[in-house]
Amino acid sequence: MKRHLYNLNSAVEAVFTNKFRSMLTALGIIFGVAAVIAMMAIGTGAQQEILEQIKMVGVNNIVITPKITENITSKEKETTDEGTETDIKKKFSPGLTLADAENIKNTVPGIERISPELVYNTQIITAGTRGNGKFSGVEPDFFHVYNLELFEGEMFSEWQLTNGAPVCIIGPEIRARFFKLENPIGKKIKCDNVWLEVIGVTKSRSVSKSATESLGVSEFNNTVFAPIKTVLLRYRDRSLITRTLMNQQNREEVSDNTNQLDKLIVQMTDSEQLASSADIIRRILLRRHLGIDDFGIIIPELLLKQQQRTKDIFNIVLGAIASISLIVGGIGIMNIMLASVMERISEIGLRKAIGARRSDIIFQFVAEATIISVTGGFIGTVLGVVLAHIIMTTTGILTVVSLYSILISFGVAASVGIVFGLMPARKAALQDPVTSLRHE
């Protein structure tokens, strides 16, 4: 033990005797470890973000949305003998409706839940407080599909759903704005011209802008949820032609959206059924809409998995590039240690002449290389954590520094010192003591 402690002390003295050279030698390790930790932090953050989005949009979902910008009528053409085209038939699509949801539910096998949804931007009033928010017609399956839990209160009952009862569940932001100092359960809230009784409040749920745009996720916190029949019967049904709609049309205020639903979520029991079920649903809707493609179908889970694969490949490439820095750092350590052996041939000969064994010389030089690499690994770890924090602060990219990434990087740094320090150590140990003492 004393022999090993003496050899270790000699290695430490040699490192600190040449502080500047040792620090320059460690730079490759420092930047390599920092890069690996930062890249792994970005990869872990991306994976966590994807998992959160999958949890947010639900699992095994197929999202069906109407194409509002396109004309929902189509005309078939017939070519006459004179070569001109004339209209022979005019088709009209009713748009996305509750009847579509019912037909899909009864036709497509393997459906676990189906959630129709319609959303209006409305003015909300209660107790003299006025503000804007979203008014959404949903069914209980909506809350299961999006993993949206109640903070307090109760879910819609079967009677309320069937009869279009004037009840609602509000988001936490609505509660904070309109019921600051009181319990909202049992209180009344007015959405435009419809009075509703609050029976529940949802838990807070943040939704990123990217999820809202690309995955069709609704804003939960600033929404008043009511049974879908309540909204259709008491508030507005875009599929019906009413006197109000005619008055709006006379004033050219009517919207192009005549779809009864804004969204239809179909949740399958098995993820392997997603692609085939989506194809069946497309065919059903095309048949029901008279061949007019006035709807879009997306599968959020498949999009997220594809995005995850892309990010994984990107992270592997970045990790490989960062790992090259560790290899370059190891080569730098080997070169410096080889130069150190050449500079200290007389010292090596003297140590062997007074009784040092080959294992002592090997231990000393390997210890020097390991000290340099471990010190570089420690500094690189700190730098990597700081770099990950800077990336998240400046770019908004989620970074998560895990203990696993730190241990891996630090372990690789120590291994690099041992592996690349072994060759110079063996070269030093094989020096002939007589020749070494004569070396100038």
What phi, psi does 238 have (nearest 5°)?
Answer: -65, -20
The answer on 286 and 168 residing in a single domain is yes
The answer on 140 and 30 residing in a single domain is no
User: pTM value?
Assistant: 0.59
The answer on 154 and 135 residing in a single domain is yes
The answer on 293 and 149 residing in a single domain is yes
How many CB atoms within 10 Å of residue 390? 12
The pLDDT tens digits for 123-169 are 998 877 888 889 999 999 998 888 888 999 999 999 999 999 999 99
Enclosing domain of residue 404: 2-53+307-438
Q: Identify the three-state secondary structure at position 194.
A: strand
Per-residue model confidence (pLDDT) at position 254: 47
Query: Which amino acid makes up residue 162?
Result: T
- Torsion (CA) 120, 121, 125, 131 in degrees, nearest 10: 160
Which one of 251, 268, 299 terminates a domain?
A: 299
Tokens at residue 342, please? 């050449």
Cβ(331)–Cβ(27) below 8 Å: no
Q: Are strands 129-138 and 61-66 parallel, antiparallel or unpaired?
A: unpaired
Domain count, the chain: 2
Tokens at residue 331, please? 């080569």
Per-residue model confidence (pLDDT) at position 413: 75
Instruction: Please name the helix (run of DSSP H) or strand (run of DSSP E) that holds residue 339, with its range, or none.
Output: helix 300-343
How many CB atoms within 10 Å of residue 342? 12
* Residue bearing the bigger pLDDT, 196 or 246: 196
The pLDDT tens digits for 10-63 are 666 666 666 777 777 777 778 878 888 888 888 777 777 766 666 566 667 888
The answer on 24 and 125 residing in a single domain is no
The answer on 292 and 317 residing in a single domain is no
The answer on 280 and 192 residing in a single domain is yes
The answer on 173 and 317 residing in a single domain is no
The answer on 323 and 202 residing in a single domain is no
